[in-house]
A and B are shown apart, each in its own frame.
Chain A
Amino acid sequence: MTRLFTPKRSIPRSVEISVGTAVAGSALLTWCLLSYLQLVSGAFLPRPDEVWTAFVNVLSNGSLFEHMQVSLAEIYIGFFLSSIIAVPLGIFMGSYRIVAAAIEPLVNFMRYLPVTALIPLLILWIGIGIEQKIAVIFLGTFFQQIVLCADVSANVSDDLYKVSYTLGVNRRQVITRVMLPATLPGVMDTLRVTMGWAWTFLVVAELVAASAGLGYMILQAMRGLHPATIFVGIFTIGILGLLTDLVFKMAKRWLLPWTAVH
C-alpha cells in the first residue's frame, strides 16, 4: 500500500491497468447517467447511442471521410513543409553562432506572435481554401520548431565534437557524422510535440473560415443543432491525434534504437 504512494516507485501492471480502466470507465458511466436519465438536456449532451447513429450516418454518406481527408492533407502538408525547413535551420542556429546572430531576432519576435492573430490577415491574403490552413499550420509550427531544435543542438556535448576532430573528422563531415545523429532524438521529440500543436491550429483555422474539414464539420453541426455530430468530430480528432502520436513512438523505437535500451 505504501509502495503505491511513494514517489517514482513502480506499481504492479495489474494495478496500472485497473486504475486506468476505472477512471476512463467512470467518465463514460457519468456520460451515460447524465444523458440517459436526462439530467442534462439532449440539446446539449447527446446520448452515446445518438453519437453512434450520427457516426454511422456520416460514415455511410461519406462526409466524415471527406472532411477527414481535407484535414489530414492540410495538417500533413503544412507540418511537412515547416519541418523540412525549420529542423535543419534550428539545428544550425543552435550550433553556429553566425546563423543564430542572423535569424534569432526575427525568430524570437515571431515565436511570441500567436498564429491565431494572423488568421484574419491570412484569409485576406490567401482566402479560405486549403492553402490558407496550410499557411496557418506552417506559421504556427515553424518558429516553435526552430527554437526547440536550436535548443536540442546547443545541448550536444562539446566533447563529442572534440573527440570526432581527433578521429580525423573535418568541418563538413562533423555535420553528418556528429551533429545530425546527436540531435535526432531531440528532433523527434520536437516533431511529436509540435504535431500536437498543429492539430490545435488546424481546428481553430477551420472553425474561423472553411468549406471542408473536421473543424468545419463540427461548426456545421453546431449550426444545425446536432450535438451528436459535434461529438463524432471531436472523437475523430482525438483518435487521429492518438494514432499520429503512436506513429511517432514507433518511429522513435525503429529509428533510434539506442534510446530504447538501458
Chain B
Amino acid sequence: MGQVSIRNVALHFTSRRVGTVTALQNLSLEIPDKQFAVIVGPSGCGKSSLLHLVAGLTEVSAGGCYVDDDFITEPGADRGMVFQNYSLFPWLTVKKNVEFGLSIQNMSADQRTQRAQHYIHAVGLNGFEDAYSSQLSGGMQQRAAIARALANDPQVLLMDEPFGALDSQTRTIMQELLLRIWEREQKTVLFVTHDIDEALFLGDVVYVMSGRPGTIVDSVEVTLERPRHYEMVTSPEFIELKRRIMVNLHREVEQAMMQNQAL
C-alpha cells in the first residue's frame, strides 16, 4: 500500500538575514494508494519542500506526514525520490547506480543484476549498463535515476521536477515513458512541476498550491482517459482543464510576485 496523508502541515525556516519564513501553512492532502498526484504552484511556493517532508529529508514544524498512517520521521527506502538535478553517483556505472538501493538491502548479486536489468530495460537504457553518468545525456541520466528509484520497489515515488532541465522534445518522450512504466508498476506518485501541460498529461489529480505560505487552493480531477497519448493536449477537454488551473495559478503567481516586491 502507499497512501500518503499530509495533515495540517506547517514548515518554518529561520535564517539570520530575513528571520522566520513560513514556507507551508495549514496544508492537508490525502493521496490514495496508486494515485498519480501532481502538485503545481508558483515558483518558491514550497512545493519542493513539501516533497522533502514526505521523503523525510526535512522535519515538519507542525502537523505530520504519513504513509499508510505511519508518521514519517526520517527518510526510508519505501519512499523513492527523483531529483531535478541529475543525481546519479558519478563513480558508479548505470548498472551499479540502479543496483545501489538493492546492495544496501544485501540482496544477492544474481537477484540484483536481474532486477537492475529489468528496470534498465524498462527505461530503454539497454546497452548503456556500463556507462558512467558523465557519458550520458541529461535525458538518459534521468532515465537511469528513475530506474534506480523503481528498482528499490518503493511504495511511493516522489518526483521533484524531474524533467525540468530537459529540452521540450526529450521531456515529452520522458513523460510518455514515465506513464507507460507507472501503468505497469501501479505505484503512488507525488510529482511536482510548474508546467501545467505536464501536470495534466500525467496526473489523476492536479493539486494547485498558493504562493508563500504554500497551501492547497484547488484540486482538479483529470478526467482524460488512460492510456494517454500526447495528442490529447490539444483536445477540448484538456484545454478546459488547463484554463481552470491557469486562472488559479495566474492569480497565485501575481500575488506571489507582489509579495516578493513588498519584501
Contact = CB atoms under 8 A, between A and B. Distances in A.
Interface of A: 157, 159-160, 162-169, 173, 177-178, 181-182, 184, 256-258, 261-262
Contact of B101 (A159, A168, A257): A168
Contacts of A181: 89, 91-92
Contact of A160 (B57, B89, B135, B152): B89
Nearest to B100: A167
A194 to B, nearest CB: 22
B57 A159 contact: no
B135 A167 contact: no
A163 B83 contact: yes
A159 B89 contact: no
A144 to B, nearest CB: 25
B156 to A, nearest CB: 10
Most chain A CB within 10 A, of B79, B80, B89, B133, is at B89
Contacts of A182: 89-91
B75 A165 contact: yes
A215 to B, nearest CB: 39
In the A-B complex, the 8 residue pairs with the closest CB atoms: A168-B77, A165-B75, A167-B101, A166-B81, A258-B132, A159-B87, A181-B91, A163-B87
Interface of B: 55-57, 74-77, 79-81, 83, 85, 87, 89-92, 100-101, 104-105, 132-135, 145, 148-149, 152, 158
A166 B55 contact: yes
A167 B148 contact: yes
Contacts of B85: 157, 159
A177 B83 contact: no
Contacts of B81: 162-163, 166
A167 B98 CA distance: 10
A160 B87 contact: yes
A167 B105 CA distance: 10
B77 to A, nearest CB: 3
Nearest to A167: B101
Nearest to B79: A166
Nearest to B90: A258
Contact of B91 (A163, A168, A173, A258): A258
A173 B80 CA distance: 18
B148 A162 contact: no
Given A168-B105, A177-B104, A157 B87 contact: yes
Most chain A CB within 10 A, of B101, B135, B158, is at B101
A246 B78 CA distance: 47
Contact of A166 (B57, B133, B134, B135): B57
Contacts of A261: 132, 134-135
Given A157-B85, A258-B132, A167 B104 contact: yes
A168 B87 contact: no
A262 to B, nearest CB: 6
Given A157-B85, A165-B57, A184 B91 contact: yes
Contact of A167 (B56, B80, B132): B80
A206 B89 CA distance: 45
A168 B154 CA distance: 10
Nearest to A257: B132
20 contacts: A162-B55, A162-B81, A163-B81, A163-B145, A164-B89, A165-B57, A166-B57, A167-B77, A167-B148, A167-B152, A168-B77, A168-B101, A168-B105, A168-B152, A177-B100, A181-B89, A181-B92, A258-B91, A258-B92, A262-B134
Nearest to B131: A261
Nearest to A181: B91
Contacts of A165: 55-57, 74-75
A250 B133 CA distance: 22
A171 B145 CA distance: 22
A136 B80 CA distance: 50
Contacts of B79: 166
Most chain B CB within 10 A, of A157, A160, A162, is at A162
Nearest to B91: A181
B65 to A, nearest CB: 14
